[in-house]
Amino acid sequence: MKQDILVFIGRFQPFHIGHEAVVAEALNKAEHVIILVGSSNRAPSLRNPWNFEDRYEMIKKVFPYEVNTEKLIIKPLADTLYNDEAWTSNVQRIVDETASELGFDKDHPAKIGLIGHSKDKSSYYLKLFPQWNSVDVPHEVGVFNATDIRTSYFQGAPIIPHDIVPKEISAYLKEHMMSDHFRHICAEARWAKDYKASWATAPFPPTFVTVDNIVVQSGHVLMIRRGGHPGMGQLALPGGFVDHDETLLESAIRELKEETKLADKHGPFPMGKLKGFLDGQGVFDDPKRSVRGYTLTHAFLFRLPPAKELMKVIGSDDAVEAIWVPLGSLDPRECFEDHWFIINKMLDGAM
């Protein structure tokens, strides 16, 4: 049965022949295909190097006629890490809005389907939409994945796998090699490779334990700008690795002190006093949250008393800068790893 609308969700980092084959099949099976480009609100990283606009351009290069005639509609889809209900409702909202833009309504509802290939555990999201028809793609096209493409591309002697990316994407990648963005992701990739190599002789893959501080005062959150890899130049929560002779809370407060030099008008803020403002804690465990490998972070929320003048901060240690950012202007696309999502979760969705 032909669908009115087929929805295809993915990261497309980059768009390869597996994705192309699914889109081609979807175009045969439906009047309209909506591609939702996932993780559109993430900062550039080795796992998500290209932003929404880049990926829109890639897909349009492969399917120019279908995009120009609106048979293929491409929209951004934000991650809402640690909140699948928010993500699901966002997908539903975007698809409903698009259906109404296409002329469907309550009296003439669209026949909607979701197309995708259940490749591994990470494809669980295909089961989150029982109200739509499920169009499975039974076979993978080729034995490869986008991670391998990124690994061989983002290196000193980049390899473009012409056999597994459409020719338009080969040309795109060739041109992209000249960009600062390419050089930046290569530097991140080199750092990650060396970091993983330094743990290669461990008997088991390591699990790292870190702490992060969410310090809020008068509608602002305290952030630092990262001075080194990974995430060089991105905004992050003050925090770091736990030392072997301290509790998690001691570690969090030590990192906060080292990276931000938090002070009031009397001088450095006494850390004992800071404990009095502790207003919550949480553990964040997305297995893919860090390029280092599995890294569990314990987050501590400190709510400082409202004040006309925010506490003084100076970036030091791993931080090139420490700044108070108004909650409403913190952009997830500038934030390291899952830090924006941690803030949002700890502040009950205030972002």
Q: Which is nearer to ligand NAD, 132 or 324 (CB)?
A: 132
Q: How many helices and strands in the chain, by DSSP H and E?
A: 10, 14
Among 4, 25, 31, 140, binds ligand NAD (CB under 6 A): 140
Of 141, 187, 278, 323, the residue at the interface with ligand NAD (CB under 6 A) is 141
Work out which of 9, 135, 216, 242 binds ligand NAD, going by CB under 6 A: 9
Residue with tokens 């964040």: 284
Looking at the Cβ atoms of 117 and 345, the one nearer to ligand NAD is: 117
Tell me 40's DSSP state. Answer: T
Whether cis (ω within 30° of 0) applies to the bond prior to 230 is: yes
* 14 is a contact residue toward ligand NAD (CB under 6 A): no
Q: CB nearer to ligand NAD: give 86 or 327.
A: 86
In the β-sheet with 3-10, what is the strand arrangement from edge to edge? Answer: 72-76, 30-37, 3-10, 112-116, 133-136
Q: Report the residue from 3, 5, 7, 10 that binds ligand NAD according to the rule CB under 6 A.
A: 10
| Shortest Å, Cβ 12 to ligand NAD | 5
If one asks whether residue 287 binds ligand NAD (CB under 6 A), the answer comes out as: no
Closest CB 164 distance from ligand NAD, rounded Å? 8
Amino acid identity of residue 313, one-letter, is: V
d(CA 110, CA 92): 13
Pairing between β-strand 263-264 and β-strand 278-284 as defined by DSSP bridges: unpaired
Here's the x/- map for ligand NAD, 110-129, by CB under 6 A: it reads as: ------xx-x--xx-x----
One DSSP character per residue, 71-140 reads SEEEEE----TT-HHHHHHHHHHHHHHHHHHTT--SSS---EEEEE---SGGGGGGGS-TTSEEEE--S-
- Shortest spacing between CB 269 and ligand NAD, in angstroms: 35
**Angle at CA 112, nearest 5°, toward 51 and 57?**
20
Strand duo 267-268 + 72-76: pairing: unpaired
Contact 4/103 with Cβ under 8 angstroms?
A: no
Verify binding: residue 39, ligand NAD, rule CB under 6 A: yes
Residue placing its CB nearer to ligand NAD in the complex, 70 or 136: 136
Q: Provide the mask over 69-108, with x wherever binding to ligand NAD is found by CB under 6 A and - wherever it is not.
A: ----------xxx-xx--x---------------------
Least gap, CB of 132 to ligand NAD (angstroms):
14
Name the residue nearer to ligand NAD (CB basis): 55 or 226.
55
User: Smaller CB distance to ligand NAD: residue 38 or 240?
Assistant: 38
The residue whose two tokens read 């569990």 is 296
Query: What residues contact residue 246 under an 8 Å CB cut-off, 6+ apart?
Result: 254
Question: Of 64, 109, 142, 219, which lies in the binding site for ligand NAD, with binding defined by CB under 6 A?
Answer: 142
Footprint on this chain of ligand NAD (rule: CB under 6 A): 9-12, 18-19, 22, 38-39, 79-81, 83-84, 87, 116-117, 119, 122-123, 125, 137, 140-142, 146
